[in-house]
Structure 1
């Protein structure tokens, strides 16, 4: 019981979100019975399943084996960083940004067992890479799914309209990686024995991963989650105790806070005037609003008053950079890192990248005449 409660008691971000919700509750007309509907439960179920599966693979020890192979394959920090950043961007285009992080961040954390590497910086760049890579396809992230379903472009048409921004941002991030990681040789730590791993647990986790992805596609996520829980309860129940359950609480409270925020009377009045904003006004609003309430809720809010144009699709994706709340993927990556310093280090890279993406995106939109 103490193990389960400890993350909740020490999670300062969760405490801040709860305090924010309590303050908003004094200014917003609502009924407590409305709050459960404010939570995107399919997202919570998905996140819960991925947390368990990732912890299962991590507990099997296979990430240690794969991490050892990586540091033996790449001899320079820069080449390893370029590989991980490119992998994050590529995986996020078809596995979604969250799934890409659940694969790469634990793998990256395992690298510190074999060499002294800038792990925190690698995880920051992976978070930035999934934001850049996932914007390419309709299934790369939740905001694209919303934009795709509300817009007129088909699957390939959506990719075509997002391709210029995705290409330039991924290229910019790879160039930034070249400057931010040195060509210093990776020195392997003294470790003669090959890391051991639990094959049955690894195989079970991978099989369950595939089953869960299929269950998500068939809208049977809850049944997939129950299957994962049952298998781990029988094979390795310790995994269920070591999961960061407070991360789920953070997402639940965040959804409630966003719901209360959007019901502020002043904000409700402002929504009626969104269509009167200029193209630049809509562009800046989508990016700015994403910094406060995250780009997925911002997309939901803006689509109630504005069409799903290329401008809006670019803006909400650019809004994933910058401040931590800009994208839920940022929160997932930094929470998995379990390093207090990474929270402020992240903004040293993400905020300048937001400014670059904002200016670059607007210039490209004008050139492409999509405004």
Structure 2
């Protein structure tokens, strides 16, 4: 999900209203690394083409494709940006602004995926920082933490949840119930961090410049498609749901499909291909089998530690072969999104969109302590 944005090259007056593709301009280094690994496996462990396709979890990739299309439609409708600008223009102090941004990031990430919520809020935050004296780095880091926490609640909040939801066999509401205790811990510490780290000082926001035109018809279409697609996913009607979503946009708003992040879908598919083959290697299988990580707190900690090195989506795919305690795995990879910047690809997205000169340093100053506190608190909750 490492994507760049054209907004940083625009003047302040237009940066918040740019409607170009958020992933335009490259940022596909991870994709090429995964392609190279797949090519290496093709030489070392040849297999039939159909066997390669069987490595991919098409339910997860298909669900992500539909959701990316719908969220692209919501973004292009202009209503979220317009509403956010009006709300933020009425904010009177810095802490209130931070709470609003963090709460918006958490809620949006649960509904329209973690990366899409960042593409909506981080550029807006950058524009606000050109209109007032704001701690941009701190706000963006808190937004990154917020989307990792908020997206963990729903099956559609992030790719690892989509994957685990299909593996669990739970209903949409059942999966949310399973994740609610861990998410509650993360959100508690998130808002505590905002309260402690952002002072309640007065700010002066200038009026927002040249809002993008709102397209109510596109918003209504995207809203209807979102509800219908979630129902289709819950009933396991993925093919029918995708046909309706893509058919509707092809008929009425083709530009939405043009700007879908197809590279992201390729990255997720290749993660399945590469990491499932990695898990099949004899020495990896022997090592993972010997470690007592099948269930309980060991599974939870293994998910957190693995996420720090290979990100929580690949960690989910890799550990799925060896961990039989799905709630522990889901909780571990959710908490594992904090800490190292590699813990979640959403972290990289936030920092790249913000273009902060010392973003990594500020991120780790907040995220590493946040990981330790959340990991310990969620573990105590599970043990209790």
Q: TM-score range by the shorter chain?
A: 0.7 to 0.9
**Pairs within 5 Å for 1:171-320:** 171-191=188-208, 196-275=213-292, 281-295=298-312, 298-299=315-316, 301-302=318-319, 304-308=321-325, 312=329, 314-320=331-337
**Comparing 82-91 and 65-74, the one that deviates more:** 82-91
Measure how far apart 1:274 and its partner are: 3.3
SS of 1:321's partner is: coil
Per-residue CA shift, 1:281-336, capped at 9, x if unaligned? Answer: 544323222334444554565454444276555434322323455446556x5499
RMSD, aligned α-carbons: 4.0
**Comparing 83-92 and 223-232, the one that deviates more:** 83-92
Question: 2:17 is matched with which residue?
Answer: none
With normalisation by structure 1, the TM-score equals: 0.75
| Alpha-carbon separation, structure 1, partners of 2:38 and 2:367 | 26
SS of 2:325's partner is: coil
Over 3 Å counting, the alpha-carbon distance change for 1:288 and 1:220 in structure 2 is same
**Comparing 249-258 and 229-238, the one that deviates more:** 229-238
| Alpha-carbon separation, structure 1, partners of 2:328 and 2:356 | 36
| Alpha-carbon separation, structure 2, partners of 1:244 and 1:342 | 27
SS of 2:256's partner is: helix
Mark the runs of 5 or more structure 1 residues left unpaired by the alignment: none
| Alpha-carbon separation, structure 1, partners of 2:162 and 2:223 | 24
**Pairs within 5 Å for 1:345-360:** 346-360=363-377
Over 3 Å counting, the alpha-carbon distance change for 1:15 and 1:303 in structure 2 is closer
| Alpha-carbon separation, structure 2, partners of 1:233 and 1:278 | 45
Contact 1:84 1:126 in 2 (8 A): yes
| Alpha-carbon separation, structure 2, partners of 1:261 and 1:148 | 23
Question: 2:61 is matched with which residue?
Answer: 44
1:84 aligns with 2:98: no
Measure how far apart 1:262 and its partner are: 0.9
| Alpha-carbon separation, structure 1, partners of 2:175 and 2:259 | 40
Over 3 Å counting, the alpha-carbon distance change for 1:233 and 1:82 in structure 2 is same
Contact 2:335 2:374 in 1 (8 A): yes
Among 116, 121, 142, which residue is 1:102 paired with? 116
SS of 1:272's partner is: helix
Measure how far apart 1:81 and its partner are: 1.9
1:11 aligns with 2:28: yes
Question: 1:65 is matched with which residue?
Answer: 82
Measure how far apart 1:183 and its partner are: 3.7
**Comparing 269-278 and 78-87, the one that deviates more:** 269-278
1:53 aligns with 2:70: yes
| Alpha-carbon separation, structure 1, partners of 2:84 and 2:286 | 53
Contact 2:95 2:195 in 1 (8 A): yes
With normalisation by structure 2, the TM-score equals: 0.73
Mark the runs of 5 or more structure 2 residues left unpaired by the alignment: 1-19
